[in-house]
Homo-oligomer: A and B are copies of this chain.
Amino acid sequence: MKFELSATDGAARAGRLTTTNGVVETPIFMPVGTHAAVKALAPDDLSAAGAQIVLANTYHLFLRPGHDVVRELGGLHRFMGWDRAILTDSGGFQVWSLAKLRKITDAGVEFRSPVDGSTHFLSPEVAVEVQHALGADIIHPLDECLAYPASRADTERSLELTLRWAARSKAAHAGAGRSQAMFGIVQGGAEADLRRRAAAATVELGFDGYAVGGLAVGEPKPAMYDLTELVASLLPAGQPRYLMGVGKPEDLVRSVARGVDMFDCVLPTRNARNGQAFTADGPVTLKQARYLRDGAPLDPDCGCYACRGFSRAYLRHLFMAGELLAYRLLTLHNVTFFLRLAREMRAAIVAGGFASFQSRFFARYPVSGGAGEPGDARLSAAD
């Protein structure tokens, strides 16, 4: 994997990430493909939306259909029919947020599958082995993701565990050749000094890129932005930075301004299934009666199939009638919106106009709340 910075504008960066399966131009948003499918979308939809890389969840694929099945069928790219880049997380976040009866030791974590109640064990070594079987372009070490708030003592203990696991993960990946890149995950909770320690120790271990984990888990928004800015400032300039599980359109803009290159979030896909469409003027909630006879497209600025071919009235009708097509069309639109936002940010950075891009964005896009607003708990990782 190769990462080149094409341009910077303040802390904001435009880069090119060359993976085994294609180039990713950053900043980039990664649609979430929980079970090896971005919900309601096929690979042709993802290509049409401008997706360059998608995320798949190690935890979910480990449980179903099983990483051995995916390997036997030629790996994740072939399995899901997606020939561009794929990133897998380590499974850590889902073990903490979704699995039952977790028993955690230094060796790893034992948990029950919510699918069928069976017991599983995930260690740093197993998580790497699973991700080798899946074959994503970018993989991650098993980490512990603490809920917010957490005590100082718990945060310290957790960080040390994550760092020990990071070292073991790196060792487990060392013999595997270089077709898969591994990103380190910087934890440290809401404590600035622990975030500093986490960043330094993770960079010291040495990875192909760095993820910022444990944010968007309930902390106030200003803390999220401050910690993101702090961690980004401590990471090597020449490597990609990925803010896990973030976020809303305004979070993407503010985080790019703080030096983040990559994002993933279930927001565009999940909200689509709740009838919400993102536009430059803010979200449109289709169940509102005002759209019953609205012949305009969802977003006149958008060139996606949903906006080219259908009215708000029709999309609302499909949503109200529970028609599956509503979910595909709204998801396609939302993913297109997030990816266009990323492309527009990149263009602004390359042109040296990211500050004015931000002004234009926030002049139209309504952001609820402000400083001191409680953070949104991260939208659970099972989209």
The answer, yes or no, to whether A72 is at the interface (CB within 8 Å) is yes
Contact B317 A42 (CB under 8 A): no
Decide yes or no: A40 and B73 within 8 Å by CB, A65-B292, A318-B35 being known contacts. Answer: no
The answer, yes or no, to whether A295 is at the interface (CB within 8 Å) is yes
Give a binary string over A327-346; 1 marks a CB under 8 Å from any B CB, 0 the rest. 11100000000000000000
Q: Which of A130-168 contact B (CB under 8 A)?
A: none
The answer, yes or no, to whether A350 is at the interface (CB within 8 Å) is no
The answer, yes or no, to whether A100 is at the interface (CB within 8 Å) is no
CB distance from A47 to the nearest CB of B (A): 12
The answer, yes or no, to whether A173 is at the interface (CB within 8 Å) is no
CB distance from A140 to the nearest CB of B (A): 22
The answer, yes or no, to whether A280 is at the interface (CB within 8 Å) is no
For A329, list chain B residues within 8 Å (CB). Answer: 42
Contact A313 B73 (CB under 8 A): yes
For A65, list chain B residues within 8 Å (CB). Answer: 292, 313, 316-317, 320
The answer, yes or no, to whether A194 is at the interface (CB within 8 Å) is no
Complex: chain B residue closest to A69, CB-CB: B293
Number of copies: 2
Contact B305 A44 (CB under 8 A): yes
Complex: chain B residue closest to A41, CB-CB: B325
Complex Cα distance, B64 from A328, in Å, reads: 20
Q: Which of A149-193 contact B (CB under 8 A)?
A: none
For A293, list chain B residues within 8 Å (CB). Answer: 69, 72-73
Contact A35 B321 (CB under 8 A): yes
Binds B, one of A74-82, A206-214, A221-229, A366-374: A74-82
For A324, list chain B residues within 8 Å (CB). Answer: 39-40, 324, 327-328
The answer, yes or no, to whether A54 is at the interface (CB within 8 Å) is no
Contact A64 B314 (CB under 8 A): no
Task: Name which of A73, A317, A320 has the most chain B CB atoms within 10 A of its CB.
Answer: A317
The answer, yes or no, to whether A310 is at the interface (CB within 8 Å) is yes
For A80, list chain B residues within 8 Å (CB). Answer: 314
Give a binary string over A38-73; 1 marks a CB under 8 Å from any B CB, 0 the rest. 011111100000000000000010001100010011
A314 interface neighbour in B36, B39, B323, Cβ under 8 Å: B36
For A74, list chain B residues within 8 Å (CB). Answer: 295
For A327, list chain B residues within 8 Å (CB). Answer: 324
Complex: chain B residue closest to A318, CB-CB: B37
The answer, yes or no, to whether A311 is at the interface (CB within 8 Å) is yes
Complex Cα distance, B47 from A305, in Å, reads: 14
The answer, yes or no, to whether A300 is at the interface (CB within 8 Å) is no
The answer, yes or no, to whether A309 is at the interface (CB within 8 Å) is yes
Complex: chain B residue closest to A80, CB-CB: B314
For A72, list chain B residues within 8 Å (CB). Answer: 293, 295
Contact B42 A311 (CB under 8 A): no
CB distance from A65 to the nearest CB of B (A): 5
Task: Name which of A313, A314, A327 has the most chain B CB atoms within 10 A of its CB.
Answer: A314
Complex: chain B residue closest to A311, CB-CB: B73
Closest 6 CB pairs of A and B: A40-B324, A35-B321, A81-B309, A65-B317, A37-B325, A37-B323
20 interchain pairs (CB within 8 A)? A35-B317, A35-B321, A35-B323, A37-B318, A37-B323, A39-B324, A40-B325, A40-B328, A41-B325, A42-B325, A44-B305, A65-B313, A65-B317, A69-B313, A69-B317, A72-B295, A73-B311, A79-B314, A81-B310, A324-B328
Beyond contacts A39-B324, A73-B293, A81-B309: 16 other A-B pairs, Cβ-Cβ < 8 A, are A35-B318, A35-B323, A37-B325, A39-B323, A40-B324, A40-B325, A41-B325, A43-B309, A65-B316, A69-B317, A72-B293, A79-B311, A79-B313, A79-B314, A79-B317, A81-B310
